[in-house]
Amino acid sequence: MPKENAGQKIIAVNRKARHDYFLEEFYEAGIELMGTEIKSIRKGQVNLRDSYIDIKQGEAYVVGMHISRYKEGNIFNHEETRDRRLLLHKKEIRKLDASVRIKGYTLVPTKIYLTRGICKMEIALAKGKDLHDKRESSKKKEALREIEKAEKNRF
């Protein structure tokens, strides 16, 4: 995971990814954006819910990410759900492609953030959860909440 520091502003988090997948390895990637897209992202008008990463011809693309139209944009405004290229090293792309093809993993975006004014995306190599895994995760979370609640009331 990228280090959380003072120069980092988190724009959007994909909470559904943590619910639906076991997230194993994290990578940081830049995103190739148009001018009105970065303006909308800075306003926080981005949704990662149903997006995923696809590797085509040696390049990684984020598919299904929704960036709302920029209100002050004119004829140069962007298409809201176009495929956007991710900026990764070739070695990383080859490694991720091999993991997706051979091991049955998938690539999901987990969050978008700004670092020193530059838009970055955290992507994760993930394995899908079954229904019983999701139930088990929610039971563990509930148990932890109960423990924290009991400790808080104790004092």
Q: What is the pLDDT of residue 6?
A: 67
Helix or strand run (H / E) with residue 40: helix 35-42
Q: What is the pLDDT of residue 97?
A: 92
Q: How many domains are contained in the chain?
A: 1
User: Per-residue pLDDT averaged across 63-67, rounded?
Assistant: 91
CATH number of the domain that residue 90 is part of? 2.40.280.10
What's the pLDDT at 1? 44
Q: Is residue 18 part of a domain?
A: yes
Total-model pTM: 0.78
The residue to which tokens 């990578």 are assigned: 27
What H or E segment, with its residue span, contains residue 126?
Answer: strand 118-128
Q: What is the dihedral of CA 28, 44, 52, 81, to 10 degrees?
A: -130
Tell me, yes or no, whether 74 lies in a domain.
yes
146 or 76, higher pLDDT:
146
Instruction: Check pLDDT > 70 for residue 3.
Output: no
CA distances from 83 to 87, 153, 154 (A): 13, 50, 52
Write out the residue range of the structural domain in which residue 58 sits.
Answer: 8-129
Q: What is the DSSP letter of 108?
A: E
Q: Residue 7: is its pLDDT beyond 90?
A: no
